[in-house]
Amino acid sequence: MRPSSPFTLTHACALALALTLPGLGCKSGEDAPSADKPSGERTEEPEPETPKDAPTGPFAAFDFDAAKQRWQGAWVVRDEAWLIEGDSITVVKGGEEKKLGFSIYSPCQIAMTNEAAGETSYRPFAIKGDAVHVSRGSAAGVVVGEQSIVCASGRVYTLEGDTCTEWSEMFDDWKDEPGECGYEGEGEERRFVVGSSKLRAVDGALLSENLEKSVAASHPSLDAAKAALAGTP
């Protein structure tokens, strides 16, 4: 038998070594890192949300800060005593006291939020001179420049000229669609009409008949508001 050549022995040893120690072999093209794989880094910043009171927001002309400031202090609202301090509200009703978050949700609604329960309730409101009108469900509104803004049936309506827009919100994202609202009548009979609600314009406020009768009473302190609610001097 002819002896094996040195080349053949070397090749066989290399092959055996590669089979027994695969980790020492070269990586194939499939194992190499791909330049096309995402790195996990954000390449573009997300678009910021447009605040409702921003120049391009739906209620740009309304002064949210002034409305919030007007609400500060102690009040009697129907069968409840309130104390509003900054972004919080203490509500006393039937001997029960609870603290909630407070905000001006829209130009004609305040929001009271129970953070622990994840629940928010809304109250329509309007400010007429020194009077603050608020209710649990009556339509309310405000006139700001050439824009009339009304909260009715859980929606917000804006009227500019003859154009009525209906607004709804979800997760701070305000969506608009064509609405049906407008002014009817002349002089003392002139009313803002949306659905079954008719609101009278008085000193920059838009008041439905029920809202006009519901006025929050201001008090120097929460204790004074609770005493007034209880009918004690």
pLDDT in tens, 104-157: 999 999 999 999 999 999 999 999 999 999 999 999 999 999 999 999 998 999
Q: What is the mean pLDDT of the chain?
A: 83
Mean pLDDT of 10-27: 45
Whole-number pLDDT of residue 36: 41
Whether residue 91 is contained in a domain is answered as yes
Residue the block writes with tokens 């003859």: 162
The neighbour count for residue 149, using CB atoms within 10 Å, is 25
The neighbour count for residue 81, using CB atoms within 10 Å, is 25
Whether residue 45 is contained in a domain is answered as no
Print the domain residue range for 224: 64-230
Whether residue 15 is contained in a domain is answered as no
Whether residue 25 is contained in a domain is answered as no
Mean pLDDT of 208-227: 96
Global pTM reads: 0.76
Q: Which residue has the higher pLDDT, 171 or 186?
A: 186
Between strands 163-170 and 155-160, the pairing is antiparallel
Whole-number pLDDT of residue 2: 40
Whether residue 69 is contained in a domain is answered as yes
Q: How confident is the model at residue 54 (pLDDT cuts 50, 70, 90)?
A: low
Whether residue 20 is contained in a domain is answered as no
Between strands 80-85 and 73-77, the pairing is antiparallel
SS3 state of residue 17: helix
Could you give the dihedral angle defined by the CA atoms of residues 81, 84, 87 and 92, in that order, rounded to the nearest 10 degrees? -20
Mean pLDDT of 54-78: 91
Whole-number pLDDT of residue 233: 57
Number of folded domains that form the chain: 1
Q: How confident is the model at residue 50 (pLDDT cuts 50, 70, 90)?
A: low
Whether residue 114 is contained in a domain is answered as yes
> pLDDT exceeding 70 applies to what percent of the chain?
76
Give the pair of three-digit tokens for residue 175: 């969506």
Element containing residue 155 per DSSP (H, E): strand 155-160
Whether residue 39 is contained in a domain is answered as no
CB 115 within 8 A of CB 101: yes
Whole-number pLDDT of residue 79: 94
